[in-house]
Amino acid sequence: MAKKDAGSRVRDALRVGAQLPDPGSTPVGPGKKPKALAKLDSAGERLSALQESLYAEGVGGGTRSVLLVLQGMDTSGKGGTVSHVLGLVNPMGVHYAGFKAPTPAERRHHYLWRIRKQLPKPGQIGVFDRSHYEDILVPRVSGLLTAAERRRRYGEINAFEQELADAGTTVVKVFLHISPEEQLKRLKARLETPEKHWKYNPGDLEARSHWPAYQEAYADIFKKTSTAHAPWYAVPADHKWYRNWAVAELLLETLAELDPVLPEPGFDVDAELAKLKGVGVSA
C-alpha cells in the first residue's frame, strides 16, 4: 500500500546496537535545525492522518494500538517530546501517563500493576513518560535489587511486552540520550529561571551523581529487553530539534507499517442517504 512508504530507515538507524550514538550527533535525517523543523511539520501532517485512521480502526472494533515508552535521564526531554510530537495529533487519540516514584499504596502492588492501568485502548497512541523500566533502574542503582531479582524483572517485563504485542499493541521504546554536559546546562537553566523552578527537583542531583551507574544500568536493559516485538531505539537528544524529528519519524514509520484499516460501514450507504433525505426536522 502507498502508506507503507515511510519504510524503516529511521528505525533501522536508531535501533540500539553495541554502541550508542553520540548525544549531539544526527546519525540519520536532517543535520540542521531549519530542515528538521520543516520535516517535523510535514511528518506531523502524515502522523495526524495515520493516527486518525488508527482511531477509526478502533472505533470500528479493531484492537490495535501503539505504546510509546519514553525513558532518559532528567532533562533529557521527555515532556518536551510529548508536547512537540504528540502535540501534532488529535488529543482524542492520545493517552498520556507519567510515572513518578511509586506512592505507598502503589508499592503494595506488583510494580506492573499501575502500569497496566494506563495501557492505551484500541485505536489509541499511549505515551509513557517513564515506565516499568524505572523499577529496574532506580533500585538497581540504589543497590536495592539483587541480581536474581533483576533477572526476574527482566523476564517479567519481556513477558509483559510479549503479552502487549499479542494483544495488538505495538511497543516503541525510546531512550532519549543526552550528554552529562547538556544536562548540566539544562539543570542550570532550570535553577536560574524562576519560571522553570517547578521543573527542578533536588533528587535530580542525586541521580546525576550516579551517571555512570545509570548508563550501565541502561546498557544492561537494552541488552536484556531489546526484543523483536519491543525494540529499543536510542535518540540523540542534545539537540531538541533532532530529538523531536526523530521520535516523530519513529512513530510515523510504526504507524505506516501498521497501515490502519478504515472500518467497513456497518450500514447500507445508499439506503442511509435515501433515509437522510426523508428525515425532516420540524420546529
Using CB under 8 A as the criterion, which residues of the chain lie in contact with a second copy when the complex forms?
56, 59-60, 79, 82-83, 86-87, 89-92, 94, 96, 98, 127, 129, 180, 184, 187-188, 191-192, 194-195, 197-200, 202, 205, 208-209, 211-212, 262-263, 265, 267, 269, 272-273, 275-276, 279, 281-283
- As measured in angstroms, the least distance from the Cβ of 31 to a second copy is 26
| Residue 95 near residue 125 (C-beta atoms within 8 A) | yes
- As measured in angstroms, the least distance from the Cβ of 234 to a second copy is 17
Q: Which is nearer to a second copy, 94 or 258 (CB)?
A: 94
Q: Which is nearer to a second copy, 34 or 91 (CB)?
A: 91
- As measured in angstroms, the least distance from the Cβ of 266 to a second copy is 8
Q: Which is nearer to a second copy, 89 or 115 (CB)?
A: 89
- As measured in angstroms, the least distance from the Cβ of 248 to a second copy is 14
Other beta carbons less than 10 A from residue 152's beta carbon: 12
d(CA 113, CA 33): 41
SS3 content of the chain, % helix, strand, coil (to 5): 55, 10, 35
The DSSP element (H or E) to which 245 belongs, if any, is: helix 240-258
d(CA 122, CA 63): 5
Q: Which is nearer to a second copy, 137 or 157 (CB)?
A: 137
The DSSP element (H or E) to which 236 belongs, if any, is: strand 232-236
